[in-house]
Structure 1
Amino acid sequence: MQKVAVVGCGAAGLCVLRHLTIPRKKDLLSSDPIRFEVVAFEQAPEIGGTWVYSPETGYDAYGLPVHTSIYKNLRTNLPKDVMCFPDFPYKPELPSFLHHSDVCAYLKDYAQHFNLHKYIKLQTKVEAVEAVPSSDGLLNNSVKWRVTYQNLSKKTSSNLAVKNDEANMISDVFDALIICNGHYSVPFIPEIQGKELFQGIVIHSHDYREPEMFADKTVVCLGARSSGIDISIELTSHANKVFLSHRGQPLQCEFPENLFEKPGIRELTSDGVVFEDGDFHQIDTLILCTGYKIDFPFLHENVGVQTEHNRVTPLYKHLIHIDFPNMAFMGLCLNVTPLPLFHIQASFVKAVLTGKISLPTADEMRKDEEEDFDERLRNGMAQHYAHMLGDKQWSYNNELATICGCELLPKYFEDIYEFVKVKRSKFPATYKEMNIDFPFED
């Protein structure tokens, strides 16, 4: 019996729980199926991770940074057909592009269906994780993991500000550890010349909740990935004027008439912005849609994990700790269909922990990791996109599935993803009104 700790109960953590606690049919037929004793830690009062919406920003009732980056009107930019675990579809009556509350409800249905709540410690914050040396005093493949945590519900007003409330700390040792704490909660704040001079409002998209507060304002959204485009379009219904500022190629799409695309920001002044084309505009608000930092504040240095430039190393296939294969990091990959990918990754992790598959040597895994990273650099990708998959997600999913012996994702996942990607690039303001039917009709 392996004792496994799971940190975080958003979509990735729930998926891991489901795979480690629900035996497959072929395992049930085995005379000695390998089982796990699993404990999952979730610091929020409920499961769902970033999909648990809160109108609040800043800090929560326990003095912790608000985790969610979901805004009030957010709808998924992927349809329900691919925004699901392959073995657990959404209710058919829901629209193709889901409101965030539908996704949160779906995750709770998933947990209830697979009876996962009994493994979860809610309102429980992991404070520290450290590697426990083996009996010979060395950190090797037989390392275990000491997890120190505290029950937040026992914190009182007198100790709320105390980061490490010693009287409330509990430590336990586990045979394996799976990190599922997400990577959309710690904002990346870029350096911008003149930012200290600007007299208007500056917020990160992490703290954006609704467009009404920007009524009659002139707003710049910096960054043109999913959140930047979605928020800038939503703002046009209330703001006087919106600038979408970014350094990429001009977007070939239809925008609302009061949304203007501009290059990056050269500098801020007391009352405005100078873009890199030299144009100056007076503005009231700057919203930084500049992404997030990957952060594992609870990891001890002896875990040996680095997160420089948002690249987590040393990891095999963006997932397995190369030096300690009984540790995994779920869901680091970017620009993917997340829930199907979690399903494949969880299957792979389970196969590693049960010994069903044998990993390459540490040197071979390290070589694989470096070759993947070097190829990205040769193709002109920035270092902070080390875990970006995009079109490579399908070969990645198939490779993991083939190695661990789980079913491949149906081909329609890729077909729908590619179909929607084209529609989203051409019609960012209206594509979510589509209802996806397979086979597709333009």
Structure 2
Amino acid sequence: MKVAIIGAGASGLTAIKCCLDEGLVPTCYERSEELGGLWNYKDDVRPGQGSVMKSTVINTSKEMMCYSDFPIPAEFPVFMHNKYVMQYFKMYAKQFGLENYIQFSTEMHINSLRLTGTATLKILLKMRRKHVKIVSLKRSKEFSSTGQWDITVKHKTTGKEEEHVYDAVLVCTGHHADVHIPQFPGLDRFRGKVLHSHDFRHTAGYEGKRVLIVGIGNSGGDAAVELSRVASQVFLSTRRGSWILNRVADHGLPLDMANLSRFTTTLASLMPNLAQSFAEGQLNKKFDHALYSLKPKHRIFQQHPMVNDDLPNRIACGAINIKSNVMEFTENGVQFDDGTFVDDIDVVILATGYVFGFPFMEKGLIDVRQNKVELFKYMFAPELERPTLAVVGCFQPIGAIMPICELQCRLATRVFKGDVTLPSKDEMWSDIRTKATIMSHKYVECQRHTIQVDFITFLDELAQLNGCKPNFGAMFLRDPVLAWKCIFGPCTPYQFRLEGPGRWKGARAAIMTQWDRTLQPLKTRPLGAEVEVKGSSLGFLKFLVVFVGLFVLLLSFCMQ
């Protein structure tokens, strides 16, 4: 069974591996010259192709973001600079021989892609060196019976087009390529430089400038902090304000490792208001968000948070000035909706997010409107007669994206093979609409909050469908130490390799040693004694809940 994979970034790489694991024959098309997608930093700006900034450090710790059967080396930093992320991707690709299945320098345009049904693996590997261009993706004429997809490939050197057929397609193009630029009054007459954060790479050339950044997402915060070290003054404009999370939590532990567990997720779902109040209180202990003009009207779990360890420090030293929403631009300045005005602005950076879509697909196949897309598990189009097309990575988690992409690929490849049967069309639509309703009630309404998912909850949904969700009841009886770590410790990706399809023999050992790998890069100076790792601020609460639970069970047993 031949599978076309579009994109060789974080999701495309694991898509190749998952195909190989299931005995499928993948061919991956990547528009650039290297793998890595968004994390493949380039100085030059390429339209429709995202890239991190030169200084970007990932917001999730290495144990939470790794692929589930390939731990990140212990010596790598807890939070990795983009060069380490790329190094990890290359190690992963080398370990499993993934580059043999990638055709680089292939672009997606608005027409079609076909690979011959008789193409063998040797022919596919030979095509990799030809530098072809993909023109489009559409259903084959016999799709209702075969589920096959037509693709037209155009060779860049000869201009010759070839048509081929694939049995299934994995779309791994992400959602950080095409920029969203709101219409601001007067922006067209502003005389300074205007760019989107998509095009901002480094601080060279901004020395001594007065810079306005519009938007307080992660890109806006990162750009503001970096520019504040060289610019004359940075202004950061926000409509609503934002809660600011630190990568580093209590006792210097990574925030996600210390707090993102099955226990805390369950607790937050049972007592959402209490959980939000507790979290907001913890953040305000770091710095008072109202005092720093950042406090939003919404609660902490009602917006995708910003992760930034340096922003309050740069505000405190005056390098960054928080401003309200932009009302209007003038030739040299900007009027804000609180009545204040800032003049002599040299540069405006629009950190206003992205729009996503699939322009290379057959029209009407998957409709995206205002960043809203109706896909089952953000993957499958319910109206397709055959589930041989899956979108991967078209979601926004509160947590790491790589483990979810991997689990989507594991599920998709088993659906393609027929090992997993999707629910009925009505059930899929019901799930899609339920998620949309929950999202509309939970999050502030904006284009940014259309594909939000909860990290552990969504992983469990995918694992349940795929048959690899751990049975914790049986685990407590069989291996109570492991069960304790899985429920009360960080929900690392290895949990989804403990049992079921794709089981990995090293999963238990990886879970038992996950804190060792996390802390290893910090041990750069011998102290003469072993340092005790302190737990998070929820440690006593965990103990109390477990103690009460055991007491209730014992009491009910005695009363029988």
Q: TM-score, normalised by structure 2?
A: 0.65
Quote the residue 1:317 is aligned against.
Answer: 377
Structure 1 counterpart of 2:353: 291
Given that 1:15 and 1:346 are in contact with CA atoms closer than 8 Å, whether structure 2 keeps it comes out as yes
The answer on 1:86 being equivalent to 2:39 is: no
TM-score (normalised: structure 1): 0.82
**Distance in 2 separating the partners of 1:395 and 1:119:** 32
Out of 131, 154, 159, the position equivalent to 2:139 is 131
Cα distance in 2, alignment partners of residues 320 and 413 from structure 1? 29
CA-CA distance at 1:364 after TM superposition = 1.7
- For 1:66 and 1:376, the matched residues in 2 are separated by 28
Partner SS, residue 316 of structure 1:
coil
Alignment partner, residue 12 of structure 2: 13
Q: Which residue of structure 2 aligns with residue 420 of structure 1?
A: none
Deviations 1:365-393 (A, max 9, x none): 1121122112222335436322112xx22
Q: 1:231 aligns with which of 223, 227, 239?
A: 223
Which one-letter code corresponds to 2:25 in the other structure? E
Match of 1:352 in 2: 415
Residue 78 of structure 1 and its aligned partner are, at CA, apart by 1.5
Residue 86 of structure 2: aligned partner: 104
User: Following superposition of structure 1 onto structure 2, how do residues 383-422 of structure 1 map, counting pairs within 5 Å?
Assistant: 384=447, 385-389=449-453, 392-407=454-469, 412-414=489-491
SS at match of 1:395: helix
Inter-partner Cα distance in structure 2 for 1:214 and 1:440: 42
- Aligned ranges for residues 165-204 of structure 1 at < 5 Å? 167-204=159-196
1:199-222 Cα distance to aligned partner (Å, 9 max, x none): 111100111011132111111111
Contact (CA 8 Å) 1:184, 1:292: kept in 2 or not?
A: yes
Bigger proportion of residues as helix = 2
Q: Deviations over 1:106-125 (max 9, x none)?
A: 11110110111221111223
Q: Which amino acid aligns with 1:122?
A: F
Partners of 1:75 and 1:122 in 2: how far apart?
26
Deviation at 1:290, TM superposition (A): 0.9
Partner Cα separation in structure 2 for residue 357 and residue 104 of structure 1: 33
Instruction: Determine if the alignment matches structure 1 residue 119 to structure 2 residue 181.
Output: no
* Alignment gaps of 5+ in structure 2: 108-133, 244-288, 293-311, 471-484, 494-520, 524-531, 538-560
Deviations 1:112-156 (A, max 9, x none): 10111221111223220011132xxxx53743210122344x27x
Q: 1:216 to 1:78 in 2, by over 3 A?
A: same
Q: Which residue identity is paired with 1:14?
A: L
Contact 1:219 1:286 (C-alpha < 8 Å) held by counterparts: yes
CA distance in 2, matches of 1:439, 1:398: 28
Per-residue CA deviation, residues 304-351 of structure 1 (Å, 9 max, x unaligned), is: 2101011123x1011112123211000011134111111211111122
Q: Post-superposition shift, 1:413? A: 4.2
Q: What SS is found at the alignment partner of 1:211?
A: coil
Matched residue type, 2:137: V
CA–CA distance in 1 between the matches of 2:201 and 2:467? 42
Aligned match of 2:297: none
Which structure's CA Rg is the greater one? 2
Deviation, structure 1 residue 17: 0.8
Task: Return closer, same or farther for 1:249/1:178 CA change in 2, 3 Å cut-off.
Answer: same
Tell me: CA distance 1:120–1:250, structure 2 relative to 1, closer, same or farther (3 Å): closer
Distance of aligned partners of 1:353 and 1:213 in 2 relative to their CA distance in 1, 3 Å threshold: same
Question: Is 2:56 the counterpart of 1:56?
Answer: no
Alignment RMSD = 2.4
Name the residue aligned to 1:264: 325
Number of residue equivalences: 387
- C-alpha spacing 1:250/1:116, structure 2 compared with 1 (3 Å): closer
* Structure 1 residues 338 and 277, CA gap change in structure 2 (3 angstroms): same
Quote how far apart the aligned CAs of 1:415 are. 8.5
Q: Which secondary structure state, in structure 2, belongs to the residue aligned with residue 150 of structure 1?
A: strand
Q: Name the residue aligned to 1:162.
A: none
Q: 1:247 to 1:301 in 2, by over 3 A?
A: same
| Paired letter, 1:16 | A
What amino acid is aligned across from residue 318 of structure 1 in structure 2?
Y
- Matched letter for residue 383 of structure 2: D
In structure 1, what is the Cα distance between the partners aligned to 2:203 and 2:331?
23
The 1:74–1:16 alpha-carbon spacing in structure 2 relative to 1, beyond 3 Å, is: same
Verify the 8 A CA contact 2:358 2:366 in the aligned structure 1: no
Structure 2 counterpart of 1:274 = 335
| Runs of 5+ unmatched residues, structure 1 | 24-34, 60-64, 156-166, 417-433
Of the structure 1 ranges 4-13 and 45-54, higher mean CA displacement relative to structure 2 is found in: 45-54
Kindly provide the amino acid, as one letter, of the partner of residue 366 in structure 2: V
- Could you tell me which residue of structure 2 aligns to residue 327 of structure 1? 389
SS of the aligned residue for 2:189 comes to coil
Among 140, 147, 151, the alignment partner of 1:143 is 147
Matched letter for residue 150 of structure 2: R
Q: Percent identity?
A: 29
Find the aligned partners of 1:366 and 1:250 in 2 and give their Cα distance.
33
1:206 partner letter: H
Cα 1:397/1:169, change in 2 over 3 Å: same
1:207 aligns with 2:199: yes
1:417-436 residue pairs with structure 2 within 5 A? none
Distance 1:102 1:87 in 2: 18
| Shift in alpha-carbon separation, 1:132–1:406, aligned structure 2, 3 A | same
CA separation of 1:89/1:287 partners in 2, compared to 1, >3 Å: closer, same or farther? same
Paired residue secondary structure (1:348): helix
Residues 7/83 of structure 1: CA separation in 2 closer, same or farther (3 Å cut): same
For residues 534 and 163 of structure 2, the distance between their equivalents in structure 1, rounded to whole angstroms, comes to 53
Whole-Å separation in 2 of the counterparts to 1:401 and 1:141: 28
1:343 to 376, 391, 406: 406
Following superposition, the deviation at residue 99 of structure 1 comes to: 1.2
